[in-house]
Every structure is written in C-alpha cells, then in structure tokens.
Amino acid sequence: MTNQPRQTEQHLAAIAGIDTWDDARILEALAAGQDRALAAVRAVTPQIAAAASFLARALKSGGRVIYSGAGTSIRIAVQDGSELPATFGLSEDRIVYLIAGGRPAMFETLATAEDDVEAGNRDALVCGPADVLIAVAASGQTPYTLATMRTARKRGAKVIAVVNNAASPMEAEADVAIVLNSGPEVIVGSTRLGAGTAQKAALNLLSTLTNIKLGAVHDGYMVNMQAENLKLKTRAAGIIMAITGADQAQARAALEASKGAVKPAVLLCAGATSLAAAQELLGSTESNLRQALARLSGS
C-alpha cells in the first residue's frame, strides 16, 4: 500500500514553464488547482456525512474530538478546532490536539517531527473509548499521524482519516475515511495549496454538520455562542430578535439575565417565565432550541 504512487507528488505537464508565465496566467493556474480541491470535497460528501454522524454521537455521549497531524495538515486542523468554542459553544476541554513536534511546530518548521513514531504512540495515550480521533495527512502515510491512529484504536477510540491520496495506510486504519482526490499540485508536493484547501473545506463541513446535529445551529444562527464582548453581544441580540421578534431592549435584557447565553435568552423572549424555566425546557429537549420553542408554545 505504501508503494502506491501519490497524486500529490505527481507533475502536471500543463504547468511546464510556469516560472516564465505572466502573473495572470500563473494565478489562473493556481486558482484552477483550488477549484479541483473543492470539487474533490463535493465528491465525498457521503463520507463526510457518515463521519459527522459518528462524531456527533461521540460528543453527545461526553467524548472528545482529537485532531492529529503534522506540518500543514495539523495547522489546518487546529484552525478548525480552535473555532468550535466560539462558533458552536463546544467546551475547550472537549477538543485535543496531537501535534507532531508539539506546539512549537505550529510556528516553526520541525520537519523531522512527522517521522517520530514513538512520539505519536506516546501522544495518543490521551485517547479513550469515548473519543474520536480525526487524523489529517495529505500523503495518508505520515508516520507520526499513523502511529496516533493505531494507538488511539488500541485504546478504544474511533478514528476518522482525512487524506489526499487513495489506498493509503491511514485510509486502511480508519473507521471512516474521507479521501480527497484533489489531484497533483501546481507546485509539485506543495500540499499547502490544493490539498490544504480540500482538507480545510472538508474539516469545515465535518465540524459544522456535526454541530448542527448537536443543536448548535437554529435557522442558520449560532445559538450556542456565548456573548462575551461587544461584537458578540450585538450579534447575539440580533439572533434573538430574528428568532423571536423581540425588540433590541428586550433581547439585551434577556441576554443580561442569561449571562450571555443565547438559547435561554431566546426562550425568555419567547415567553419563558424565568431563566430557570428556560433552562428546564432546554434540559428536557437535550438543548434543542427548536423543540424547546415548540414545547413553550404548546405546539
């Protein structure tokens, strides 16, 4: 399996002479590579949906999402994970990163770290049976990342692979594999280009669909967000007004009463008699705002 030719290392014949082209032609070639990357993501939406169902069940049961990778791939994964608390209200302690080379590798090129199998095995000891590991690597065979997958599985965790080469060891090791056929790079092997774009888009779709399934989105609004600064308080008030028809004063008063939590504030503006009553409604519907609103209205 490791002897399979890697598409990300192949050369595009049409790119010969790119260093002699004018700027517009170079940029068009680069943009075409990005188009191929997004087409690759659309082609695997069934696999992304399967992975999202998998991850949603784990998070609903108290598990954690654990991202693993090296180089560009883990930087993209960290970008995805680091946005989940602010966007969807996922607690920081439910998100873990296994980074080849540790946190310094987010800012420094520690190229040899990706070959450290021992570190991968050691780092993955944090995984447990309730967790899901999302392993990301363009090649599909990065030693560190593959080691984290194998150790995670031994410890009972489920594993999702996001890779850009088919028939790879990581694909074989995963419970759910998202194989992104993003094709050869305009610059051979520079997976920060098309492969990176495909990974970013796939992770974005995966985490967003997961959190929609968990009730963090209502009619396209981020109802699990916590309004902690002026910008977010303004956004939260707008969300409450849009969902309930309340005016700005009512929305801001409800937010104040709920200490910045959007869902109970929505219920207060929709007729809940107290914060305790709003929280009870959310508790009885597993924090599903649509169901809570329906119960409140008696429908």
Please identify every residue annotated as catalytic: 83, 114
Cite the DSSP H helix spans in the chain.
Answer: 23-42, 45-60, 71-82, 84-88, 117-123, 143-154, 169-173, 194-213, 230-244, 248-257, 262-269, 275-284, 289-297
Pair of tokens at residue 205: 């779709």
Q: How far apart are the first and last CA of the chain?
A: 56
Judge contact between 78 and 71, C-beta under 8 A: no
Distance of CA 217 to the CA centre of its chain: 15
Judge contact between 60 and 130, C-beta under 8 A: no
Judge contact between 50 and 202, C-beta under 8 A: no
- Give the Cα separation of 224 and 86 in Å (integer): 9
